[in-house]
Amino acid sequence: MGIQEQYRTDAANLLDSGAVKLVIGYGEGSTPERRRPIFIRSAEEVGRLVLDANCIANLSAYLVPEGLLSDGKSVAVFLKPDGIRSVNILAAEAQLNPEQVVILGFNIDAGLANPLPGRKANEFAPLLASLKSAGLSTDLQREADRLEQMTAVERFEYWKEQFSKCIKCYACRQVCPMCYCRRCIVDVNQPQWVNTSSHTLGNFEWNIIRAYHLAGRCVACGGCDRACPVNIPLRLLNHRMSKEALDTFDHFAGESADQKPVLATFRQDDPETFIL
């Protein structure tokens, strides 16, 4: 039995037994290689679930809408390792109770989806520890190194060109499981911190503050990169922040549900090389 059949059966069993009230998974999308999130509430519908190497979106973002988990019932969700890390972060930030999240874990390897054993976020701890020791993406690091070898003026020009394309659609925010604030800083208008129109300066501010708010929280699912209609390399900014959190504070986002958020904690002996 393939992984898709197996997980359809698992989803049907979970729904039939009443263990979960909802299954969040992938369904057919608008083109053969696209998948869209679907929400299954009864066992008869599990035939709509699809699981293959095209299922790349991080579905953990669908766990945080207000009221979904407030009745104490559980929800099952298809997650890759990055999504499992997101669930851990959301739990650490008190946005959900990980006991209410049943994980249908899978990994995409060499064009195939493979099942990951485990049902609750804490059962994936060894997997996440191995991800931490494997380190961050070397491809992104190569690109980050290239930028860091430039002068500040050249780097500014590079980002100016990138950010000038931004149309402030906020798709990067909407797709991100970490952007759950009821009132985002860009929507605050007294004072107006970030200019609302999409000129380059306001775009700079928005993209800087977005990346900053993801410091030590981004799991590199790449959702923002894929959602961006003008192809700004958002993942690169996030990567730089993840690297800072990992190198300076040994913080690998979403390692466990009781990991303290990196900017909400401190050590007395944190490095301070730059302070006069």
Positions in the binding site for other proteins (CB under 8 A):
144, 147-148, 152-160, 185, 191, 193-195, 197, 199-202, 204-205, 207-209, 211-212, 215-216, 237, 240-241, 244-245, 248-249, 262-268, 270-272, 274-276
- In which order are the strands placed within the sheet that holds 35-40? 35-40, 22-28, 75-79, 101-109, 112-115
Smallest gap from Cβ 118 to other proteins, in A, equals: 32
Nearer to other proteins, 247 or 258 (CB): 247
Nearer to other proteins, 70 or 142 (CB): 142
Smallest gap from Cβ 261 to other proteins, in A, equals: 10
DSSP 8-state secondary structure symbol assigned to residue 195: -
> Phi, psi at residue 42, to the nearest 5°?
-140, 155
Nearer to other proteins, 108 or 263 (CB): 263
Nearer to other proteins, 80 or 239 (CB): 239
Smallest gap from Cβ 193 to other proteins, in A, equals: 5
Smallest gap from Cβ 211 to other proteins, in A, equals: 6
> Phi, psi at residue 178, to the nearest 5°?
-85, -15
Nearer to other proteins, 35 or 240 (CB): 240
Report the C-alpha gap between 171 and 4 in whole angstroms: 29
Q: Which residue type is seen at 120?
A: K
Half-sphere exposure at residue 226, Cβ-oriented, CA atoms within 13 angstroms: 10
Nearest Cα neighbor of 54 from 30, 79, 26, 93 is 26
Nearer to other proteins, 83 or 216 (CB): 216
SS3 82: helix
Tokens of 70: 């407030």
Q: What is the dihedral of CA 123, 121, 251, 109, to 10 degrees?
A: 80
Q: What is the dihedral of CA 135, 141, 145, 148, to 10 degrees?
A: -90
Smallest gap from Cβ 183 to other proteins, in A, equals: 14
Nearer to other proteins, 180 or 193 (CB): 193
